[in-house]
Amino acid sequence: DLPPAARIRRFLLLHKELDADDAELTRTRKVRRRLISQRYQDLINALYSQNDHVDVETTITYQDGRTATIQTRLRIETLNDTGE
């Protein structure tokens, strides 16, 4: 068993996969933790708040160079003490 401080209590599913083309992963698929902590700071802060959701707005660039803005609400899930 993990000590209580090391247990996952809250989580959310990102609105996109981490991608090497966005510099979030190396070409060998390792997570660039410093960049992730900067880019997703608002999401990380929301996990430690009492909110049950966080609103996200991001710009994506398609392979042909077009861009689009995505706005979505991510639900923050909370686990109980038994891990369910």
Q: What does the domain layout of the chain look like in residue ranges?
A: 4-77
Q: Could you tell me which residues are beta bridge partners of residue 57?
A: 71
Buried b (16+ CB within 10 A) or exposed e, 32-61: beeebeebbeebeebbeeeeeebebeeeee
Q: 76: Cβ–Cβ under 8 A, 6 or more apart, which residues? A: 10, 11, 12, 46, 47, 51, 52, 53, 54
Per-residue pLDDT tens over the stretch 13-65:
999 999 888 899 999 999 999 999 999 999 999 999 999 999 999 888 788 98
pLDDT confidence of residue 12: 97
**pLDDT confidence bin for 66, thresholds 50/70/90:** very high
Determine the pLDDT at residue 21.
83
pLDDT tier at 10, thresholds 50, 70, 90: very high
